[in-house]
Chain A
Amino acid sequence: MNRILLSSICFVSVLLICIFGTKHVETSTLPLIDQAKTSLFYAQNDDMQSAILSMEALILDWEETSNILGVLLRHNEIDDLDQIFILCLEYAKNGNQESFQVETSSLIHRLEHLIEKEKFSIKNIF
């Protein structure tokens, strides 16, 4: 009986981690998406200086978030996003507005996909 109790406690803990993990991916990624969209908006309105500042702030937030995300998600996904963030900032600093917009759109899509992938849905289960 003790073993059943102990394995039940472990299972409940794992269940809570899963629920927290799914929620955390969503709550931590949504503000990043909003920030990326703001940065893209600045770029589309030819305000590259604000776009750079916004992207720099976004990268700082990402570095903080990615530590916990690394426990929950595959590390190569985090590494890929790291690279896109760096590319976006470089494009912005070099004044390559078109590439910045393409790369930021891709970043937004990848971040949205992170939430989509963790959602508890029939599509994801199968």
Chain B
Amino acid sequence: MMISLSRTIILYLFVIFSIRLMGKRQIGELQPSELVVTILVSELATLPMQDFDLPILLGIIPIVTLVFFEHIVSFICMKNVKIRRFINGNPCIIIKDGKLDIKTLTSLRISVDEVLEELRVNNVTEIEDVKYAIIETNGQLSYILYPHARNVTSGMLNINSPDSSLPLVVVNDGYILEHNLSDLKKNREWLLNYLYENGRIDIKSVFLMTLDSSNNIFIQQRNE
């Protein structure tokens, strides 16, 4: 029993390390080679967890090898377009000028229903509104709408809207995040002073406080 527990902990930590080593791309958008590696890593990790006859090393060796080769392949793909196209494939245009490309759809084995579903998910109901729709190498659908179907932006209306910056969390559950404060060129003293001047709020009672470079502040206290 304890062997199973310790093996699981070791392999869990090892798989976390491996996935972190593969980088953020692995978690979000999987290319074909990355998908294969991710599935294989999880499968390989379970073998020594369940089979006590298998030395833990025999689970670790293939995981390290896969992660290493995944890095090498990613690096080569980054440097060489031909190899990248061979390994990851090409994006395919499935809608051009508001018309479905039936030949491409057939070769990709994607049904019209699936295309419509994917467009509906993105709030597009008419194929005629789509100038281009592309199946990316990671399998996701991206599209470009005709100007008449696009959402109106302030730029189109020539309206000068104030630039908003990224709000950063400066207090999380009563804990001051100093590095975010310094990114915004503020310090602990400024923060405590602000809280004191705005209702003598105790820092420990602040559940969440965000701040952006335009000094827009959001505060939620624990008791709210």
CB–CB B60/A7 < 8 A? no
**Chain A 67-90: CB-based contact to B (< 8 A → 1; otherwise 0):** 000111111100000000000000
Q: Which of A7, A11, A18, A74 has the most CB of B within 10 A?
A: A7
In the complex, A4→B79 CA distance in Å?
14
Interface status of B61 (Cβ within 8 A of chain A): yes
B: interface residue count bin: 10 to 19
Can you name 12 A-B pairs with beta carbons within 8 Å? A3-B22, A4-B71, A4-B75, A6-B21, A7-B21, A7-B68, A10-B21, A10-B67, A10-B68, A17-B57, A71-B55, A74-B55
In the complex, A96→B58 CA distance in Å?
39
Give me the interface of B with A, judged by CB distance under 8 Å: 21-23, 52-55, 57-58, 60-61, 64-65, 67-68, 71-72, 75
Additional A-B contacts beyond A10-B64, A13-B64 (5; CB < 8 A): A11-B68, A14-B61, A17-B57, A75-B53, A75-B54
Residue in contact with A11 in the complex, picked from B22, B23, B65, CB distance below 8 Å:
B65
Interface residues of A in 1-59 (CB under 8 A from B): 3-4, 6-8, 10-11, 13-14, 17-18, 21
Contacts of A21 on B, CB cut-off 8 Å?
A: 57
Contacts of A14 on B, CB cut-off 8 Å?
A: 60-61, 64-65
Residue in contact with A73 in the complex, picked from B21, B55, B67, B75, CB distance below 8 Å:
B55
